[in-house]
Amino acid sequence: MSNYPYTRLRRLRTQAFSRDLTQEHHVKASDLVLPVFIQEGTRKRTAVEVMPGVERLSIDELLHEIETLEALGVRAINLYAKIDQEKKNNDGSEAYNEQGLAQRAIREIKVRFPKMGVMPDVALDPYTSHGQDGILDEQGRILNDESVQAMTMQALSLADAGADIVAPSDMMDGRTLSIREGLEAAGFIDVGILAYAAKYASNFYGPFREAVGSNTNLGQADKRTYQMNPANSDEALREVQLDLEEGADIIMVKPGMPYLDIVHRVKTEFGVPVAVYQVSGEYAMLKAASQKGWLNEQKTVLEAVLGMKRAGADMIFTYYAKDIAKWLKES
């Protein structure tokens, strides 16, 4: 039964102050995590053509970037290394090289910017000659347990370098437990685990693979034997529950906008810290449409990340993090 005209929901929409006072969800700079790609060299910035505005950075250039991020209020980065082809092999052993690119970068970041949260990726695909997230047998099948062992070694090397939170993104079974046990045994009891618990075999990852240099190695192969079927949602809750039982501190849902129903279900069901990743394909679409003049970039991007917060995300991984922080500061 309507209470009109006594109830008029438009009353609180008529002026800016009342709209602001009744706004239910907000995006803050401290909600954002910037994924960054690093490369060897000095004073080196290499544009990622399929992601306009995104660059691979040498470590010294990354430090300049972090200085800007801190000034804008962005408090965490997600680190990916692009290594030279000759360092890649079937086992991805460069991933746990104590003097590897990611490990060196973390050490330098923590010297210069000890308060910046560093969340390096834990996965083998940037380091394998075949571009898969795990080790292959002679028939080309992913060896789950051997891959988990390698990624545990990777996580330990990153923690030893100074990582605050390690972020296994591979979707191998049991890797969260293995990493947690490894961290505990090595004394890294305060290092968190951000588990990509609901990571889908998505077509939205294409530009990322170009940025990290795994697309050529992967070729026509796919990752459907370990990443989730985009048609499934109940399965995501099983994955999340297992990762929480194995010691995960934060749960990641990836990609973002096409999977906000999963974000909402995870937050409602478990009430734990939830991250969402606005992935490279989402970024590329927004950027391309904006460059064409078909969308207002600032307003559309802010709407997109606000939707992620509304769905239940506590933190948002986005290549727009620096831009968003600037827009928020200006407003």
Positions marked catalytic: 199, 254
Token pair, residue 293, equals 């003049």
Q: Which residues, 6+ apart, have CB-to-CB distance to 29 below 8 Å? A: 72, 73, 74, 75, 324, 325, 328, 329
Q: Which residues, 6+ apart, have CB-to-CB distance to 8 below 8 Å? A: none
Q: What is the 3-state secondary structure (H, E, C) of the chain?
A: CCCCCCCCHHHHHCCHHHHHHCCCCCCCHHHEEEEEEECCCCCCEEECCCCCCCEEECHHHHHHHHHHHHHHCCCEEEEEECCCHHHCECCCHHHHCCCCHHHHHHHHHHHHCCCCEEEEEECCCCCECCCCCCEECCCCCEEHHHHHHHHHHHHHHHHHHCCCEEEECCCCCCHHHHHHHHHHHCCCCCCEEEEEEEEECCHHHHHHHHHHCCHHHHCCCCCCCCCECCCCCHHHHHHHHHHHHHCCCEEEEECCHHHHHHHHHHHHHHCCCEEEEECHHHHHHHHHHHHCCCCCHHHHHHHHHHHHHHHCCCEEEECCHHHHHHHHHHC
Q: Which residues, 6+ apart, have CB-to-CB distance to 146 below 8 Å? A: 134, 135
Amino acid at 103: Q
- Name the β-bridge partners of 56: 37, 46
197 within 8 A of 177, measured Cβ to Cβ: no
